[in-house]
Every structure is written in structure tokens, then in C-alpha cells.
Structure 1
């Protein structure tokens, strides 16, 4: 029996492979899916859940989380940081609407070089960051959920309302992709540790979840530092957790690997607000992994 924290993830992969329901999905690729899952990671010793059974590009995951926190919704900001994980959706829309068979590299180059082109074709709609930092109420007022949840943690640590989410029903049709990791809830333990639970309605187990774990843990570390708390548990909960049918061989490869020790995360400085963090502030040490596993993103 494996007791390594990463074993939870590997067991989930094996559960999907063994008992998953074969389903037709939005992308047309098809999935093996299970409904309802939970993983728990203890971050109190500085551990961060960067999976070791394949190489995870943790800087990319943290850069994505920092982008969410800016409230940004255009891939140009990501491309300026050499992050390409959101290009598929605007690229597909551009090809569909213009009929131009442009390569991803050429599309990204145009987005970077031409601000007007980026504004027209690099926009993702009111995705994560917009909802987290600029939720538009029915009265026309914008609501900064991140600032409010930090205030609540500081001022009322016993509250059961310390959460934010991204499922803004009226704005869903305008999003390139509705939020998958959609609810984050915080809990302050009497020991002075900050716990965080993230609910993910839809989880791409091979490609998405490893990034989601890192981004969420980085967010929890930032919020803990901003509120003067130590880190506690990160709890991940999934709704529809799936493997795409073109990921099954890769998943079997990963499930057969033995995990290595998880690395540690430290923050190099404490900015005045959560808006002040930069990728250079995050130091991950002791990360050793098995080789990368390549798989296509289903759009």
C-alpha cells in the first residue's frame, strides 16, 4: 500500500481507468469519468503538491494563478510570460471565424506584436480573474472577492463565509471556458493554520489536475502570508473527474511510476498586498520527477 501523498492522485487515475464511465463529452474526444473525488495534502511543513510521477512545469502553473489575480482575461499577458496554456481556445475561434489556417506560433506572435489584434482575438471573455476581482453585480457595482475574503480571514477567522467563486451565471455564455475550479473556501484552525478547500466541477485528470494543485497551493500560501497565518491542509474536491480517451496510455504509464519526495515551497518576500507577488517570489526546492508525459489538450 502506497502512503506517499501523491498516491492519492495515482489511485484516482487507477480508479478512472478501472471503473470510469465511458462518456461522450463536449470536445468530441470522449472520456472515462468518475463522479466525486477528494484528495488532501498537508502543507504545514512547506510541502507543495508538485507531482513527481511526471514533470510538472510549476512556474507555468503559478504564473497562471498570478494572472488570475490580476483580473486579466486576455492571453497577451500570459504570452508575455511565455505561458501558452490558454492559446488553444482563442486560436480555435480565430480559425473558425476567419477560415485562416494559421499556426499556433504565428497566432501567438501576432497577439504579442499587435495590441489591436490581441484585443480582438486574444480575449477569453469574463473568465476566472474577471469574476474573482471584478464580479459585476445586478446593480452595476463590481465586487473584488479576493480582497473581501482576505479581509474576512483577518477580521472574522471563525466565519463560514470565507469563500469566492467564479460561476457567474449571466456571464457564462461569454466565457471561452466556464470555470472548472470554481469554488475556493478557507478555514482558520484554532492552531493558527489556514486550510483551503477547492471544488472543481470538471477535472482533466492527466493534464489539468497537476496544474490545478500547484496553482491552488500557491494561492493558499499567498493568502496565508497576507493574513499572518501558517499553512495547513489543502483539500481538493472534484465533481466530474475524467481521462480523455486519447490520454489513457499516458495515464497508465504515470500510474505505474513510483513517486519521489514532494518538494518544498518558500516565499521570498511579503508584498504589501496580494497584488504584489511576482513569479520570482516563489522558490521550489528539492523537486525531482520522472520524465514529462506528452498529451494533447482537448478543446
Structure 2
């Protein structure tokens, strides 16, 4: 029995295999950023989330609290980086910073830009907004209604897709419409970055909640570790709110790529051996999925190998 168990590959091995496949066999191409990538199309990864398991990478440190703060921010519907910067979360800062530098000619550092975003509400309102990105679409997808003379006006409040999914999971678990969608075609041009992790679908089998994340574009080295954590956490939170057990996360990638300037990270990481079995405990059940706080999440058994860094392509 112990022999067969030891022969089961570590859950992270499929991530490393994907990384190796892209680096060794991917199509090399020029991308939007000008950096260049190696890319494959139509990747899939699967992770068991039962008994608190999470797809938290061990071959490098993943800052799961940062990824958690991002998901909680999405659920507020906020699209300004001010709340993130106030928590020390800088994963969205590069896009507003780039826009500010180009418009003003001020070569301000990211640290100083973030500090000003936090300290100056007017500056944050002008330069910190990302447009109608993830959270806006998740909890306030716009609705338009006739206003006369062939014109339409936007309602004050739109569709809360997340609240609707919670309700549908509770009253109609067999539905094939448990979907949260971020790709609002009419508003793509207003977004700092069109949604990469664009479509979530959920499926109830018995008392287990499974989830699929389809990602149109995926930076495997820097983005995917966060995306896997966020998607798994989303499933865990929905399961708790709907009195279900967590089942499986299925991740699917469209353009799944590694940036050419990530060579050092890739080579170092694929040489490492994954180990460990991190688990997540949600210590409190709030009244709604919108009531979670960072203090509600505890990870045990996580002993990652050394941090690996690489530049973000903006």
C-alpha cells in the first residue's frame, strides 16, 4: 500500500511538466508586450481540493495572502488600486504607474507612486483606477434599459454574478449555468488589462463542488501560481457558503506561455523537486461570500523552497 501511494506523482508535478513543455516545445512568438514568449495552446491541470488541499506551489514561495487579498478585493467590486496599495499589495500597480509615467513624464518609482495613491484620494481617483476589470464584472455587470428616443441608460446597479451563483448552487445544484464571466465585450477597451482568468464554471456532484477556470492568456511563471490559488479559494468559499464539500479544480489555458526573459526562473524551478502537502483552513463562516476577511484563512504544512523572481511584462 505504501509503495503504491509513494508512486503517485506530487500534485505540483503537472505544473512543472507544463512549464518544461512550453519552454522546450512552445512556439516562439512576439507578443503584445514586445518581450516575446514561448506558447502552447489548450493546456489542462487538475487538482484535488478535498480535506483542505490546495494547489499551492512548493518549488518556490507563493505569497498566498497577497493572492487572497486580491480575490477579496474582486468580491468588493472595486476597480481602484488604492485599497490594494494600502494593504501592501502591488500586483496591479504597474499598469496605472505605466499610464501615469507616459502621461506626465514623471519617472516616479513604484514605491512613491503607491504611497501617493494611498495618501492622496484625488490622485488615486485620477490615476489609480483600472477601468471595469474583474470585480466590476463579477458583482456589477452593467444592465441597460430603454430611455426613450432610441437611447438607453445604465441602471444604477447591475448583475451580481457571484451572488447569483451562490443562490443557484443552493436552490438548483444540478444547473449547468453556475458561471461567473469577466469578458464583457462592450467594456474591454476601457480596462487596463482585459481579463485573463475570464470564465469560472461550477458543478455539483453529490455533495462535492467542482470548478473549472478557463484562462484565455496565462503567464505560467508569475501569474498561474496566483490564478490556481485564487480559483481553488473561490471554490472553497462557495462550498462553505453552500454547505458543500470541496471537490476538484480543473484549470484550462488558451494561450499558455512563458516569457523569454523568465529563462533563469524557469530553469531553476523545473530542476526543483516538489514536496509537502499544504492545507487551508477557513476559520470562520461569514453570513455571505462577501463577508470574508484575510484573518479567516490559515495555511498549514507549507514549507516552500526559496523565492524565485522575474520581471512582469506590462
Instruction: For residue 248 of structure 1, report the CA deviation from its aligned partner.
Output: 1.8
SS in 2 for 1:136: coil
1:60 paired with 2:66, answer yes
Q: Distance in 2 between matches of 1:183 and 1:262?
A: 28
Q: Distance in 1 between matches of 2:13 and 2:277?
A: 11
Instruction: For residue 216 of structure 1, report the CA deviation from its aligned partner.
Output: 1.1
The residue that corresponds to 2:3 in the other structure is none
Segments of structure 2 that go 5 or more residues without pairing to the other structure are 1-6, 146-153
Q: Distance in 1 between matches of 2:129 and 2:8?
A: 44
How is 1:1-299 mapped onto 2 (pairs within 5 angstroms)?
3-139=9-145, 140-141=154-155, 142-190=158-206, 192-299=207-314
Question: Under a length normalisation based on structure 1, what TM-score does the superposition of the two structures give?
Answer: 0.98
Instruction: For residue 93 of structure 1, report the CA deviation from its aligned partner.
Output: 0.0
Instruction: For residue 2 of structure 1, report the CA deviation from its aligned partner.
Output: 7.1
Is contact 1:124-1:175 (8 Å) kept?
yes
Instruction: For residue 219 of structure 1, report the CA deviation from its aligned partner.
Output: 1.0
Q: Distance in 1 between matches of 2:278 and 2:105?
A: 45
Deviates more, 1:211-220 or 1:180-189: 211-220
Larger radius of gyration: 2
Is contact 1:127-1:179 (8 Å) kept?
yes
Measured against aligned partners, the alpha-carbon deviations of 1:117-153 in whole angstroms (never above 9, x if no partner) come to: 0000000000000000000023334100000011110
SS in 1 for 2:144: coil
SS in 1 for 2:188: helix
Q: CA RMSD in A?
A: 0.9
Q: Distance in 2 between matches of 1:258 and 1:19?
A: 21
SS in 2 for 1:89: helix
Q: Distance in 1 between matches of 2:8 and 2:310?
A: 26
Aligned structure 1 segments of 4 or more residues deviating by more than 3 angstroms: none
Q: Distance in 1 between matches of 2:51 and 2:286?
A: 22
Instruction: For residue 203 of structure 1, report the CA deviation from its aligned partner.
Output: 0.4
Q: Distance in 2 between matches of 1:295 and 1:17?
A: 15
Q: Distance in 2 between matches of 1:102 and 1:275?
A: 35
Question: Under a length normalisation based on structure 2, what TM-score does the superposition of the two structures give?
Answer: 0.94
Instruction: For residue 252 of structure 1, report the CA deviation from its aligned partner.
Output: 1.4
Q: Distance in 2 between matches of 1:223 and 1:82?
A: 26
Is contact 1:49-1:262 (8 Å) kept?
no
Deviates more, 1:96-105 or 1:132-141: 132-141
Q: Distance in 1 between matches of 2:104 and 2:136?
A: 27
The residue that corresponds to 2:4 in the other structure is none
Measured against aligned partners, the alpha-carbon deviations of 1:151-172 in whole angstroms (never above 9, x if no partner) come to: 1100100000111110001100
Aligned residues: 298
